[in-house]
Structure 1
Amino acid sequence: MTLDLAFTTHDVANTRFAVSPLGEVVASVRVVKNPRAHPLLRPWADQVRRRLRDVDWRLLSDLVPVPTISIAGFTCTPPATSMPDLDLELATMRGAAGRVRSDLEEIPGPRTKHVRALYDRPEEGLERLAKEVEGYWEAAMAPYWPRVRSLLEGEILHRARLLAEGGIQRMLADLDDTVTWRDGTLRIKHRFVSGVRTLRGLGLLLVPCVFASPRVFSVTTPPYQPTVRYPPRGIATLWERREVEPPEALAAVLGRTRARLLAELDQPAHTRDLAQRAGLSEPGVNQHLTALRRAGLCTAHRTGRYVLYARTAAAEALLAPHAVKPGTT
């Protein structure tokens, strides 16, 4: 089965990216409930399942059945801003009481007692759901969020570069193995949906989502903005604890700390993430990154409240002849 998303010139102009903490929570429920189906994410699931024993997330669990055919739209409304935090997305969800019943009526199958209670009293039910998401987040997501967010922001930066190099066709060409672009249409191999959908002039919202792996999820039903959630590159590296050793010759020229930071930028990252990985203070990392930036070895790109650093072509050339091998600790 294939789902075809037909673009107009207005849709191309309005296509954008966003990160969704709430979307990651909802998608991750599938992983906790069936870790065997998600080999790249199983190390995370094995770690968090014990922590979740003391968390009440029964309603959240019932709203994300496994196998997952569809999920009610109000649980993770497509974000209106590019970098929302969890509080903002939960505020949006709490305000969606008017859509709860219509969204649930589109979901096939019987309702559990917790979902029936939500259907009968949407405002109370959404408040309970928000509290459950907050507890789930603290136990299962918050400890990993800095590295997940860095990966997502790096993916968006990568897509922005592809867009600059070759337009929307270049950007979408390798989005996922199940996605192809041809003649103004994005075609998605889909398990449960087929047909042609227009984007209604709203453009497409692209949301890289770690816990969507290995699937691509789509939203095409009004009133929501058409959305595609897809797995970003590099998910397998998220759960590794790495010690990156820079080439000795480069360390002799730049100093070991700056060479180490440059080697760590195999994926774009922000200061806090780099400080945690390298065992340094954030102010110290900032000083080193400023020096590397002035030397033309890294660039800085603001994404929301954060500045994301990436290696330049000159830095890649310095590192390319050497094997910068991450090891597992």
Structure 2
Amino acid sequence: MAGRLRIHFGVADVARLRVASGPDVLWETANSMHMLQTRRGAVLFDGWRQESRRRLGAPARMLITLNPAIGSFPDFLTPTTGLSDFEAGLDLMLSTPRARLRIELGELTVPARMRQWVRAVADTEPGAIRELGRLYRAYHRTAVLPAWSTVVAEVSAERQRLAQAYLRGGSEAVLTQLAGPGGWRPPVLELPYPWDRDLFLDGRGLVVLPSYFCWKHPCTLLDPELPPVLVYPLRLRHPVPFGAGRAHGDEPLGAMIGPTRAAVLRALEVPYSTSDLARRAGTSVPSASQHATVLRRAGLITTERKQGTAVHSLTPLGAAMLASQTP
């Protein structure tokens, strides 16, 4: 039976409400694993799901062991809020202290064939941690990166909707927008949830994180001592265009210039500023700037300054290279 999540605000918490600057790559990765294991949202996700399952194969089952679709999943899988740089987030996840891993992984129900590996991860054995990193990179490259431009665009549209609500009525208007009619009854925000739960903010504020792959009800961290975050599903979204990510088509390009640089180049099918490029490519601003410099020196992109902002776009050579990689 469905329950309710009740988030208890103080005056300071309402004042400290903020919306994340963009989608969080590890939250989207975790939520996408849930979608992969179910038949939810057939119209939106079936094309993505079928293609991802076909390309992922058996190794994805090891990750799914750590992140089941039903019930709760370990907090260490989502150590960031609003971070688009996958490698930076992965480094944080893989450096989770052993004591915390043992507690969180010890609460999972694990198939017998996976118990030895899960115990090795919980004990931070180097080989197991390296394997976890390898599996996560492969999953992200195969299932998340092809959808990332859609994720960024849809989350950006939601952030604009929340910004408009804030301009109309401040933080309380945002909370009303999140909960719908009757869901925000100061000082409590009440939302649908898999079970009944109370979260007391105690002056720490709340980060609101719209998520493309989150479905039906919001998510939050299990440990009430961790910084509070509310991850919630978009009300309106479009499906990932079938094959639009073209990660499979970018594999030869990625092998030649590197997967992140290939993603940066692919993102510039439309001109972007450095910060927008970073969000579209799923990397940090300094990383996007560095890759743009290399691509510019190679003659694949050009950079112009418009009203003090660097705007990058493809050269004919860059466009031809991308066209040659499109299946």
In which range does the TM-score fall when normalised by the shorter chain? Answer: 0.5 to 0.7
What letter is aligned with 1:15?
Answer: L
In the superposition, relative to structure 1, how do residues 85 and 133 fare at CA in structure 2: closer, same or farther (>3 Å)? same
Shift of 1:84: 3.4
Aligned pairs for 1:1-329 (under 5 A) are: 1-18=3-20, 19-34=23-38, 36-39=39-42, 40-53=44-57, 56-66=59-69, 68-79=70-81, 82-98=82-98, 99-107=100-108, 112-113=114-115, 114-121=117-124, 124-175=127-178, 180-192=183-195, 194-239=196-241, 276=269, 282=271, 305=285
> CA offset at residue 93 of structure 1?
0.6
Which stretches of structure 1, 4 residues or longer, exceed 6 Å deviation after superposition? Answer: 271-275
Distance 1:47 1:221, change over 3 A: same
TM-score under structure 2 length normalisation? 0.67
Percent identical pairs in the alignment equals 24
**Is the partner of 1:201 in helix, strand or coil?**
coil
1:200/1:152 CA distance change after superposition, 3 Å: same
The answer on whether the counterparts of 1:93 and 1:126 sit within 8 Å (CA) in structure 2 is no
The match for 2:294 is: none
Counterparts of 1:203 and 1:123, CA distance in 2: 36
Change over 3 Å in CA distance of 1:95–1:241 after alignment to 2: closer
Query: Against the structure 1 CA distance between its residues 93 and 275, is the aligned structure 2 distance closer, same or farther, given a 3 Å change threshold?
Result: closer
Deviations 1:169-190 (A, max 9, x none): 2112232569821112111222
Gaps of 5+ in 1: 243-270, 287-303, 307-329
TM-score (norm 1): 0.66
- When residues 168 and 228 of structure 1 are mapped into structure 2, their CA distance, relative to the original with a 3 A threshold, is same
Equivalent residue number for residue 252 of structure 1? none
When structure 1 is superposed on structure 2, of 225-234 and 85-94 the one drifting more is: 225-234
Retained in 1: the 8 A contact 2:65–2:110? no
SS at match of 2:183: strand
Compute the displacement of 1:41 (Å). Answer: 1.8
Q: Which moved more, 1:69-78 or 1:221-230?
A: 221-230
RMSD of aligned Cα (Å):
3.1
Q: Where in structure 2 are there 5+ consecutive unaligned residues?
A: 245-263, 274-283, 289-327
Aligned-residue offset at 1:96: 1.0
Distance 1:128 1:274 in 2: 29
Which amino acid is the alignment partner of residue 271 of structure 2? E
